[in-house]
Each structure stands twice: as C-alpha cells, then as structure tokens.
Structure 1
Amino acid sequence: MDAQGIAPFELYAIRYARHGGRKAQDNYIGAVDFHDADSDLEYYVWVARRGAEVYVIDTGFEEQSARERGRELLMPVKDGLALVGVAAENVDHVILTHLHYDHAGTLGEFPKATFHIQDAEPAYATGRCMCHPALRHPFNVEDIVGFVRKLYGGQVEFHRGTAELAPGLTLHLVGGHTPGLQVVRVWTRRGWVVIASDATHLYGNIERQIPFPAVYNVGDMLEGHKLVRSLADTPRHIIPGHDPQVMRRYPALSPETEGKVVRLDVPPNNPAE
C-alpha cells in the first residue's frame, strides 16, 4: 500500500504475435542510423489484476488478420490470457487503447465485458478520414463492425480525456497515432507504470523523440511522448506497445511462460534499463 493507501495491481504483458524483417524507415520518420533502429515488432495485450479486479488492455488480432497482413500469430489472445489465470469469457472490463486491427480484434471472445474507449476514436474510425486508404489501412472493417455491435449491445463506456476506472488505474487521452489513442496508468508495487501502447511503438521512439511512421498527427504524437513521461515514475516505468525488448527486460511470470508472459509490476532484470 502507498499512494494514499491504494492497493497495487499486478501487471502483465502477454506476447501473442510478431512481425519480422522491419527496417529503420518502417519504425522511425526520417533518416535514422542507430542500434536497434531495424527492430522487429512484437504484439502484446496487457492485464492489470488486483484480487478479483481484472482489466484487460487491448484484445489483439486473430488468425485471419495475421494471414492477411503477414504477421506471425504465436498464440490466440484468449490462450495468452489463460496463462495468467484470466478467462476471456469472464472478463468484466476491457480497455481499448485504440481501434487498429492489432488492438481491437477478437472482441467476440469477451461476451460480458464493458469496453472502455475515448470519444474521439470511434468518431475517427467511422468518419471522413476513413475515405483515405492510407488512414483506414490499419483498421479491420469487421473489427469496427464488431465494436459497433458491442456499442448497440450496451457494452461500451465512453471517456473524454482523463478518467479513473478504479483507484490506481486511470486512462489518459494522448492522440497522435490516432485521434483517440489513450494510455493506461497503473499503480503497482514498483510505482506508477504507464502502458503506452502505440503512443510509442518502440523504446527508441520516445527516447529519441522520433515519431513512428503510422501517425495521424505528428505534433500530437510528440506531445503524447511528453505526457507519457510525466505520467510514469521514471523512463523505466514506460512500457511501449511493440518493442521486443519488453520480453527481455522483464522477468517471466514462470519458467513455463518464458517468452510469452512477463511481469511489469516488478523492476527490470537489469536495473540500468
């Protein structure tokens, strides 16, 4: 207990897919030449748990999307959740950081959940910007239809800006990557950790202040970097959305989950990271 007596959450990153063979220009705007600039991407969902309270952060994608987009699906998201003792069909709260295909697929696996999202995100995903192929490419139309069905089923809760879902867990609108991108600030036993999602795909984006190429508003993305840094206790408390280093920097939940699940509520393996 700390932070005015708030009980800490357990916090996990679950690796469910990957995309290899990427070059620096795929990850950074402009000419860059530094170590790890040619980083692959890995795909995560996250779980914040405190006793009976469970918040799933993002829902990943399924096999069809993996095939269509040339991604390697390592395991279904629901199987990854089971590794931390979470049954998708029993989850009450899902936070959607945004509606891109790799963050908002598999919604049907969560029949009981309330889905938390920023006002601006569905407006963007169903508005005039989707007339432009470059902007609609990261979305999967069937995922958006599935989200609308959840909305009409009374399972969506909208937020505008900062919102507290529970003591020690807050949502923050950052935009940039999409207009409605939100990050999640979580109180853990090591302090305030920020699940940055695609506010920074890789550690290098936020550390070097170089935007990722998939962007709606570059200025908002860079301002989002500042906001994320202000929300996290230290740079080591920022968790990027797609960096393979996350799996190396943090300890596995168990020997059986090596390479699949790491704990984010404990310090990194290397204190310098």
Structure 2
Amino acid sequence: MTPPTPSSVDPASALARCGDGSMTWDVLAVRQGTLHTRRSHVFLLHDVYGEPDADLVMSYSFWILRTEDAVILVDAGMSEEGARSRGRGYERSVTIALAELDLRPEDVTRVIVSHAHYDHIGGLSELPGRPVTMAAEEYAFWRTDASRRPLLRTVIDDADLGHLESIAADGLLTLCTGVTEVAPGVVVVPAPGHTPGELAVLVRTSAGIVVLACDAAHLDEELERDLPFRHQTDLLAMYDSLRLLRVLARDPAVATVVTGHDPRVQQRHPHLPGLEHVSIVARR
C-alpha cells in the first residue's frame, strides 16, 4: 500500500500536469561551490542514529532549464560574500557560469526560487530585471518577526531579502500557492519543512520527468534513509516532503530525482565538454 502524502499535493496529478506540457527542456546542474564538512554537521541529531561521524562533501548548485526560446533558472545560487562568510568554497558567480554557457543575464526568461536561503537567492542581484516565481508562503514567512530568530537567520542574508523586496516593488515577483505550472512542462510542487515555502520542480524532458528536489532533500542519503537535514522549520513537514519525493521517484513517468547538494549528481550525469562543473541531467 502506498503511504499517504501531504494533503496539499496529489503526486499523480502534479506529474500529469507536467507531462501534459507542450515543451520539453534541457536540464543542467551547475556547481557553484563546495563544502567539506562532517556528517554530524549535516544530519539533524546525528548522534541519535548511533553511527560514527565521518567526513562529508556538499555541492552548491543551481539549475538551468533550456528550450530553443526560453531559459529558466531554478534558484540563483549564492553570492561570493554569502559563501565565503560561511566558509563555503566559492568557484564562480552566476554571471560567469552563464557566460561559460554563452548566456547573458538578460537571456534568462524567469527565475524559480525554491526557497530564500543565502545559497539560493544570493545571485538574484546579478540578474536585474528578471521575473521571479516563488511560493507565497516563503515570501511571507521571511517578512515576519518569527523568521528573525538566530537559528533561522544563520542561513539568510538581509541584503538578499532586500533585493527580493526590490523585485517585488518592480512588479517582477510572482507568488504561487499549491501545485503551479510556471511554463509548459515546468511545474512547481510544495515540499515544505526545510522552510515553510520550499518548492520542488518537475521538468518535462525527452527522457521523462526530472524532479529537482532542491532543498526538500539535500543529499541522496537524506532521501533514501529518511534522515532530516539539520536546518528545518517543521520537522514533520520535512518528513512528509521526503516521503512525497520517494512517491514521485517510484512513478514510471519520472526519469530521476535530483537532490540539492549531493556531489554524486555530478558523478551520475555527464558533463559538458570542457565544463566539468556543468552536468547534463537530461536533454529536451
């Protein structure tokens, strides 16, 4: 018997909506930096599992969806200041990463923001005038007094939130609720827990539907073993979202689920010639 999934999402309906899209997309994973850390720094209450601590590597990436006529970024990566101030290895800016693919910021037709942490909206300032879509719940939460608690604010930069506010003031911010089609063949799905408005993204490709988990699941092991990440605003919602991703992964329409920070994503998929940091998750 298939376990229940969060009441806000019907997996079959979301997949059908994505699969009915009139377009297929290239999906590229672009690594922007890395972190060498420990398992106890990553998994919530790691000591509870009775397992030895060990080294662990995390990748920091954003994703590019491309057709002949459109370029959508899923997240905008991190700023150099946001990365270096937290001890993250920083390899390239969003602008440089785009230029390596013969793209300019003005070629980006839309940015989907999975959530508002520093490593997902830090590059928005490099993309002036670009329309942005994010969950209404996410945008609202980071404007509340509750969001200013220190344990939540460590992964937020006020400058990034200020830039998000300027995007809204310019009329370029679209706030969505529930399962939403952003473009034909691109559907966002609520996957809260890590943050109140975390989104996963379903993308129609020639190989099937690619599920970009973003930070609903940072690492493959988190998804496979039901090991919640240390940063979360709702633990039970995080468990529900991990379960939702596993339901999606089992559907025959789904080609792959891409976790948000696992370096094995780059190992599993071929890279573009001369660009080892750009992995081809799927072709249109």
TM-score (norm 2): 0.86
**Are 1:247 and 2:263 counterparts?**
no
Runs of at least 5 residues in structure 1 that lack an aligned partner in the other structure: 267-273
How do 1:218-257 and structure 2 match up within 5 A? Answer: 218-232=235-249, 233=251, 237-254=256-273, 256-257=274-275
Whether the 8 Å contact between 2:35 and 2:88 is mirrored in structure 1 is: yes
Instruction: Choose the corresponding residue for 1:23, options 28, 38, 57.
Output: 38
Displacement after TM superposition at 1:213 (Å): 0.7
How do 1:33-112 and structure 2 match up within 5 A? Answer: 38-112=55-129
What is the DSSP-based 3-state SS (H/G/I as helix, E as strand, rest coil) of the residue aligned with 1:177?
Answer: coil
Which structure has more relative contact order (CA 8 Å, sep 6+)? It is 2
Of stretches 94-103 and 130-139 in structure 1, the one that deviates more from structure 2 is 130-139
Whether the 8 Å contact between 1:62 and 1:76 is mirrored in structure 2 is: yes
Runs of at least 5 residues in structure 2 that lack an aligned partner in the other structure: 1-17
Separation (CA, whole Å) in 2 of partners of 1:126 and 1:175: 17
What is the DSSP-based 3-state SS (H/G/I as helix, E as strand, rest coil) of the residue aligned with 1:98?
Answer: coil
Separation (CA, whole Å) in 2 of partners of 1:262 and 1:69: 25
Separation (CA, whole Å) in 1 of partners of 2:200 and 2:101: 22
> Match for 1:217: what amino acid?
D
Separation (CA, whole Å) in 1 of partners of 2:21 and 2:79: 40
- Give the % identical residues: 31
Aligned residues: 262
> Match for 1:7: what amino acid?
M
**Are 1:139 and 2:124 counterparts?**
no
Q: Pick closer, same or farther for the CA change 1:115–1:8 going to 2, 3 Å.
A: same
Separation (CA, whole Å) in 2 of partners of 1:126 and 1:153: 18
Deviations 1:128-155 (A, max 9, x none): 2223100111100000011001100111
Of stretches 37-46 and 231-240 in structure 1, the one that deviates more from structure 2 is 231-240
2:11 is matched with none
Whether the 8 Å contact between 2:105 and 2:126 is mirrored in structure 1 is: yes
Deviations 1:189-235 (A, max 9, x none): 11111110100110000100110011111111111112223334468
**Are 1:172 and 2:189 counterparts?**
yes
Separation (CA, whole Å) in 2 of partners of 1:209 and 1:91: 35
Separation (CA, whole Å) in 2 of partners of 1:171 and 1:237: 16
Displacement after TM superposition at 1:54 (Å): 1.2
Separation (CA, whole Å) in 2 of partners of 1:7 and 1:131: 41
2:212 is matched with 195
> Match for 1:57: what amino acid?
V
Separation (CA, whole Å) in 1 of partners of 2:142 and 2:61: 21
Separation (CA, whole Å) in 2 of partners of 1:132 and 1:229: 31
Q: Pick closer, same or farther for the CA change 1:170–1:261 going to 2, 3 Å.
A: same
Whether the 8 Å contact between 2:111 and 2:133 is mirrored in structure 1 is: yes
> Match for 2:271: what amino acid?
A
What is the DSSP-based 3-state SS (H/G/I as helix, E as strand, rest coil) of the residue aligned with 2:168?
Answer: helix
Name the Cα RMSD after superposition: 2.1
Separation (CA, whole Å) in 1 of partners of 2:246 and 2:210: 10
Whether the 8 Å contact between 1:129 and 1:136 is mirrored in structure 2 is: no
2:27 is matched with 11
